[in-house]
Amino acid sequence: MNVDAAILNDVLSNLEQIVSKYEYFTSDVAAELKSICRGLHPVVVRRIYVSVRGLLTPKPKVYNGLFIAVSGIDKSGKETQCFNPNHLEGVVSVKDLLKNYGYRVYAVSLPSYNTVLGSLVGAYIGRSDTRYRIVLTGRIDDDLAWILWSLDRGQYAERVSKILLDGGSAILAKRWTESNLAYQAAKGIDPSRILLFERNIPQPSLTIVIDIPVEEVLRRVKDPDLYERSSRYLDMVRKMYFKLIEDGLIRSTIIVNGLGKPEDVNRRLIAVIRHAIPRRRVQEG
């Protein structure tokens, strides 16, 4: 599907105002969305409605479940540590650990390229492996592009809130709000805009940042020349993680050294989680 960037820019600008202005998803919000989304593909519009409803549904004040996010710059090993999709020997995925601890695990990997809104993020950054083939005609304003990531996350807000009400459940996210904060702040976006927009999205009880220097990124990629061109930006993102943590904008965070073999990193990360979370007593029968 084709998406006109000029129309999308107007929609994103209006969405920031709407989400900032309203406390709840009301008929007035629905009417404004209908008005501003004219010209967008109906499939995209429907998912924007779902996301905005989540963004404007106040989150519960108390959660009983567990929420862990694993973050870090590109190629830091988040996918391996969260899910171990290649079944590396000596690596216990966070997902499997939580299951072994007795939790029912709901996993979210962002951007969610298998969804319409995640595919929209993919179209913006030039990904070709998204589920939905979206072609952007024109350029998204750099001052508004961060909203694409927030909308992708917003579509999970209501479900995540409901799951976290259950003490036997755990959310595992590969990237969450902290990633958007770091990557966008490195581009000059004020973190307060993102935090206001995502104020109703549940936040992790534990965030683990896997830290590696940019030089290590270049060693790990197949096309170092491609990453070389963005190495300065990635270094800024890495430093921004530290600054946001120091400023208290990313909370409940533990930094794990990401250098070394995957199994070595895994031992450090698993030790952190075992120390930080309780093992549930699973009743039999």
Copy the structure tokens of residue 227. 């990453």
Q: Which CATH class is domain 60-110+167-280?
A: alpha beta
Distance CA 154, CA 45 (A): 14
Length of the chain, in residues? 285
Q: Helix and strand tally (H, E) in the chain?
A: 14, 7
pLDDT tens for each residue of the chain, 285 residues long: 999 999 999 999 999 999 999 999 999 999 999 999 999 999 999 999 999 999 999 999 899 999 999 999 999 999 999 999 999 999 999 999 999 999 999 999 999 999 999 999 999 999 889 999 999 999 999 999 999 999 999 999 999 999 999 999 999 999 999 999 999 999 999 999 999 999 999 999 999 999 999 999 999 987 766 666 689 999 999 999 999 999 999 999 999 999 999 999 999 999 999 999 877 654 432
CA nearest to 94, candidates 284, 234, 283, 262: 262
Which amino acid belongs to residue 26? T
Distance CA 158, CA 201 (A): 8
Beta partners for residue 271, in sequence order: none
Q: What is the pTM of this model?
A: 0.94
H or E element, residue 211: strand 206-211
Q: Coil, strand or helix: which one is 103? A: coil
Q: Cite the residue boundaries of each domain of the chain with CATH code 3.40.50.300.
A: 60-110+167-280
Beta partners for residue 210, in sequence order: 256
